[in-house]
Amino acid sequence: MGEEKSVMVVGIEDNQHSFYALEWTLDHFFTNYNSNSPFKLVILHAKPTPASIIGLAAGPGSVEAFSAIESNLKKIAARVVEKAMEICKAKSVNDVVVEMVEGDARHVLCEAVEKLHASVLVVGCHGYGVIKRTVLGSVSDYCAHHAHCSVMIVKKPKTKT
């Protein structure tokens, strides 16, 4: 019997940095192995909850707003998952699991690492400065400190203008 492969989780969201990190990961760990990669690939998108977008304040029209936001978040999540699958297919990586889980990306990714006993978590990086990262929070920073596995943060190279 063959040895069970280590799990590599790639966290993606709806931005160029995430898709770059996915492509980079596929190029370096999957496409040259002809399905003999040492890793089982799990791609995970964390769909935010409508409450995280609206906030806790409920006022007039909040039910309608909640429904509209939920519908939009579902469409975005479907688009992100579809694009991830297209990228994998284009790079001939077919042995992949693509999942969408609702919740805060930081917690969703760290919980998935635990549940799947992943050995590597890959996330993209927006390249925010210290102040913006402090105000907005950083999924990559959080995961680097809280995930119980190795965390690879893939930065998209800056383009020369």
Instruction: Supply the pTM of this predicted model.
Output: 0.87
Whether 161 is in a domain gets the answer no
Q: Domain range for residue 98?
A: 6-12+20-117+128-155
Whether 160 is in a domain gets the answer no
Of 39 and 138, more confident: 39
**For 99-153, how does the pLDDT look when each residue is reduced to its tens digit (9 = 90+)?**
999 999 999 999 999 999 999 999 998 765 555 545 446 888 899 999 999 999 9
Whether 60 is in a domain gets the answer yes
Whether 123 is in a domain gets the answer no
- Residue 152 · residue 121 · CB < 8 Å: yes
Domain count for the chain:
1
Whether 113 is in a domain gets the answer yes
Residue 64 belongs to a domain with what CATH number? 3.40.50.620
Question: 3-class SS at 125?
Answer: strand
Residues 6+ apart with CB under 8 A from 38: 5, 6, 29
Whether 1 is in a domain gets the answer no
